[in-house]
Amino acid sequence: MPQRQLKTRTASAAAWRRFRRQPGAVAGLLITALLIAICVFAPWLAPHDPVTQYPNGLSELGAPLPPTHTFWFGTDALGRDLYSRLIFGTRTSLLVAVLSNLIATSIALLLGTLAGYFGGLTDTLIMRLTDVLISFPVLLLAAFLAAVLRPGIGVIIGVIGGVGWFYLARVIRAELLSVRRREYVEAARALGASDARIIFRHALPQILGQVMVYSTLNFSTTVLFVAALSYVGIGVQPPTPDWGNMIADGSQYLTVSPWLVIFPGIFLGLSVLSFNLLGDGLRDALDVKSGKKAI
């Protein structure tokens, strides 16, 4: 086995040992795996259609039903099964968060790498743009863009991805400024390696651990952003369920039907907690220095 491959396997095994020794990290991983399973198997886990308004889903006075043997988590104000809406809402919320996070991480990798590796005017222009964008409150900026554009899942994915890269780009840029001066990079450059080869073979592999950690920690913030935009009516639009619009709908009946807010709130809280625990565990396992979250 080549020495490089053996070294990589040894480092991976050591990181996994450090990770599994942390109860919080393991708990975060298990909750994350459960949420992913809910997303994948949603059609089989949900006993009812999430958008169908059932005649027997309301009381004689037209009020939402509490949890029953037919509707496990009760029903909402329109007689829809809350449990089924939560299952499909989990899929919607996490799908939007995953795609948004991928976009944000990709933009941060591109701009941070260009700024950190090439420096000079490229670095100045990218960092000044980042400074200008950071000066705006990120949530307000996302809300403004989502309100100006037509609300919908695609718009929300693009908006959150487009405003979520600022801090991660600065972290990547700072790491690349250090990596590009190391001896093995200078040696590769002296041997005639192209910039692309140096970046992809020597520079980026050195920072992938940090990118993974920051992206995971950023995911919990992204989930909250998705829920917040949906809560104020400019995110995922009804009747498509997601945690934010379910909490918004249920808040009108909080005193008489608290389960409408409690159950989606639990799912939202667990998802945020799990990704924070997972990110902290990865940071310790990969021996990444603590720093600011990506959003």
Give residue 184's pLDDT: 82
Q: Which two tokens stand for residue 211?
A: 């990118």
In a domain, 93, yes or no: yes
| CATH number assigned to the domain comprising residue 122 | 1.10.3720.10
Contact 253, 77 (CB under 8 A): yes
Closest CA to 261 of 45, 5, 77: 77
Averaged pLDDT for residues 67-87:
92
- With a CB cutoff of 8 Å and minimum separation 6, the contacts of 209 are 282, 286, 287, 288
In a domain, 9, yes or no: no
Give residue 292's pLDDT: 42
Higher pLDDT, 294 or 137: 137
Q: Which two tokens stand for residue 166?
A: 């600022």
Give residue 40's pLDDT: 93
Burial of 159 (0-12, 13-18, 19+ CB in 10 A): buried
Give residue 1's pLDDT: 46
Per residue in 184-198, pLDDT (tens digit) is 888 888 888 888 888
What distance, in Å, lies between the first and last C-alpha atoms of the chain? 41
Rounded Cα–Cα distance for residues 145 and 142 (Å): 5
In a domain, 62, yes or no: no
Contact 242, 96 (CB under 8 A): yes
Would you give the distance in Å from CA 290 to the centre of its chain?
A: 19
Averaged pLDDT for residues 254-261:
90
Give residue 277's pLDDT: 93
Structural domain for 20, as ranges: 15-42+76-286
Rounded Cα–Cα distance for residues 214 and 210 (Å): 6
In a domain, 48, yes or no: no
In a domain, 105, yes or no: yes
HSE-up (13 A, CA, CB side) for residue 89 = 32
Number of domains the chain contains: 1
Closest CA to 89 of 252, 264, 276, 269: 264
Give residue 181's pLDDT: 82
Averaged pLDDT for residues 282-295:
61
- With a CB cutoff of 8 Å and minimum separation 6, the contacts of 239 are 50, 51
Mean pLDDT of the residues in the chain: 86
Phi, psi of 64 (to 5 degrees): -60, 145
Residue 51 reports pLDDT greater than 50: yes
Residue 124 reports pLDDT greater than 70: yes
In a domain, 208, yes or no: yes
Per residue in 85-113, pLDDT (tens digit) is 999 999 999 999 999 999 999 999 999 99
Higher pLDDT, 17 or 42: 42
In a domain, 64, yes or no: no
28-32, 145-149, 153-157, 271-275: segment of lowest average pLDDT: 145-149
Q: How is 41-101 classified by DSSP, letter by letter?
A: THHHH-SS-TT---GGGB-TTSPBPPS-SSSTT-B-TTS-BHHHHHHHHHHHHHHHHHHHH
Please report, rounded to a whole number, the percentage of residues in the chain having pLDDT higher than 90.
40
- Name the CA radius of gyration of the chain, rounded: 23
Among all chains, which residue has been given the structure tokens 């009946």?
253
Higher pLDDT, 1 or 179: 179
Give residue 294's pLDDT: 42
Please report, rounded to a whole number, the percentage of residues in the chain having pLDDT higher than 70.
93
Per residue in 195-243, pLDDT (tens digit) is 888 888 888 888 888 888 888 888 888 999 899 988 988 888 888 999 9
In a domain, 130, yes or no: yes
Contact 50, 241 (CB under 8 A): yes
For CA atoms 139, 140, 145, 147, the dihedral sign is positive
Give residue 17's pLDDT: 82
- With a CB cutoff of 8 Å and minimum separation 6, the contacts of 265 are 243, 247
pTM of this prediction exceeds 0.75: yes
Give residue 11's pLDDT: 65
Higher pLDDT, 14 or 172: 172
Contact 281, 263 (CB under 8 A): no
